[in-house]
Amino acid sequence: MHTIHVNRIEEMYQHPDIALAIGFFDGIHLGHLTVINKMIEIAEEKKLKKAVMTFDPHPSVVLNPEKKRTDYLTPLNEKKRIFESLGVDYLFIVPFTSKFAAMAEKDFIRDYLTNNHVKEVIAGFDFTYGKFGKGNMLKLAEDRQGFNVTAVSKKAMNNEKISTTDIRRMLTEGEVLKANEQLGRPYKIAGIVVQGEKRGRTIGFPTANVMPDEDYVMPKLGVYAVTLKQVATGETFKGVCNIGYKPTFHDPSKSAVSIEVHIFDFSESIYGERVEVFWHEFLRPEQKFSGIDALIAQINLDKGQAEEILRDIDRSSVL
């Protein structure tokens, strides 16, 4: 996949004719995949290259600073990886700046679509563009210059539109199963295994302390059944994870949130390695225990519950 960070508009134009899916695509959930798959279908039918245009940062950073979104279900590098795995040929990353937000609708059409060798535009029914977001899919079809327009209708689940906003809410409320259902895969946070306090090994439960390498949406604090993938080897292991402040040992007001995974039947040192944590099910909220014995007893219960949940998990099913 050829990735183009659009610092100058002319940088986009050196490629063959394309079918282009447009959107922010945070999460690349089942609704987004409907758009991407439609683009792929049209590109293959029309013998066009497959392309996606996305934006960075989230438009709210410019348009609504008081409620700006700076953490993501799929940060930029994760988006790139998923788009490449889907067979996208060209990825255009457009800086969402004040100047871009104020662009006239027809200028957007000319500079980012017509002059960009776009022959097919595919986007969700609610995609907007141009100053004040006045351009929409109906208007794009009316004002198009040299390309066709396909608006993809909403993707619903249980009679509700699948949306990034809802998935974010589900994760922060511990509703991981529902979030994963709308994503179409387990939620994932990638990062590096770093040195921790090494307290877990002293009580029989060594953990991998994972520091996220991008700005991910953090799930509700608590304990989860997870799988962990070593990126270098491709191996995936089952485990139980605590995300939180470890209140039995720390004052939450003076501590940072940590992600610690106890990997079942695993004794290797993986410090410095990049790993991916897949969140399968919320077990319980984080809590402060009266002492080490009570903590160990609860961890044993958590481990048993996680093993039961993960028993039928297909390790190859995680992306």
| Residue 297 and residue 267 share a domain | yes
**Can you give the three-state secondary structure of the chain, one letter per residue?**
CEEEECCCHHHHCCCCCEEEEECCCCCCCHHHHHHHHHHHHHHHHHCCEEEEEEEECCCHHHHCHHHCCCCECCCHHHHHHHHHHCCCCEEEEEECCHHHHCCCHHHHHHHHHHCCCEEEEEEECCCEECHHHCEEHHHHHHHCCCCEEEEECCCEECCEECCHHHHHHHHHCCCHHHHHHHHCCCEEEEEEEECCCCHHHHCCCCCEEEEECCCECCCCCEEEEEEEEECCCCCEEEEEEEEECCCCCCCHHHCCCEEEEEECCCCCCCCCCEEEEEEEEEEEECCCCCCHHHHHHHHHHHHHHHHHHHCCCCHHHCC
Give percent of the chain with pLDDT exceeding 90. 77
166 lies in some domain:
no
256 by Cβ neighbours in 10 Å (0-12 / 13-18 / 19+) ranks as: exposed
pLDDT confidence tier of residue 144, bands split at 50, 70 and 90: very high
Among 134, 161, 188, the domain-final residue is 161
Residue at 167 is within a domain: no
Q: How many CA within 13 A on the CB side of residue 150?
A: 19
- Same-domain status, 94 and 191: no
Which one of 161, 194, 213 terminates a domain? 161
- CA–CA gap between residue 2 and residue 310 (Å, rounded): 37
CATH number, domain containing residue 243: 2.40.30.30
Among 117-126, 142-151, 256-265, the least confident range: 256-265
Angle among Cα 44, 16, 108 to the nearest 5 degrees reads: 100
Cα 289 to the chain's mean position, in Å? 33
Q: Does residue 267 sit in the same domain as residue 213?
A: yes
CB burial string 293-317: b at 16+ within 10 A, e below: eebeeebeebbebbeebbeebeeee
Note whether residue 168 is domain-resident: no
* Last residue in a domain, options 126, 161, 196: 161
Confidence band of 158 (pLDDT split at 50, 70, 90):
confident
pLDDT over 70 percentage in the chain: 92
Which domain CATH number covers 151?
3.40.50.620
pLDDT at residue 16 greater than cutoff 90? yes
- Please give the Cα distance from 300 to 306 (Å, whole number): 10
Residues 144 and 247 in one domain: no
What average pLDDT does range 256-278 have in this prediction? 92
**Residue 141 and residue 230 in one domain:** no
Domain hosting 24: range is: 2-161
**Banded model confidence at residue 189, pLDDT cuts 50, 70, 90:** very high
Q: Establish if 234 belongs to a structural domain.
A: yes
* Total number of domains constituting the chain: 2
Is the pLDDT confidence value at 316 over 50?
Answer: no
State the greatest distance between any 2 C-alpha atoms of the chain, in Å, as a whole number.
71
| Same domain? 274 vs 218 | yes
207-264 pLDDT, tens digit per residue, is 899 999 999 999 999 999 999 999 999 999 999 999 987 655 555 655 678 999 999 9
210 in a structural domain:
yes
Do 181 and 155 belong to one domain?
no
Mean pLDDT (whole number) for 32-40: 98
Q: Is there a domain that residue 280 lies in?
A: yes
Mean local confidence (pLDDT), 19-28: 98
Assess whether 201 and 178 both reside in one domain: yes
Q: Is 123 in the same domain as 251?
A: no
Residues 8 and 117 in one domain: yes
Q: What is the pLDDT of residues 52-85, one digit of tens each?
A: 999 999 999 999 988 899 999 999 999 999 999 9
- Asked if residue 155 and residue 10 are part of one domain, the reply reads yes
16 and 156, same structural domain?
yes
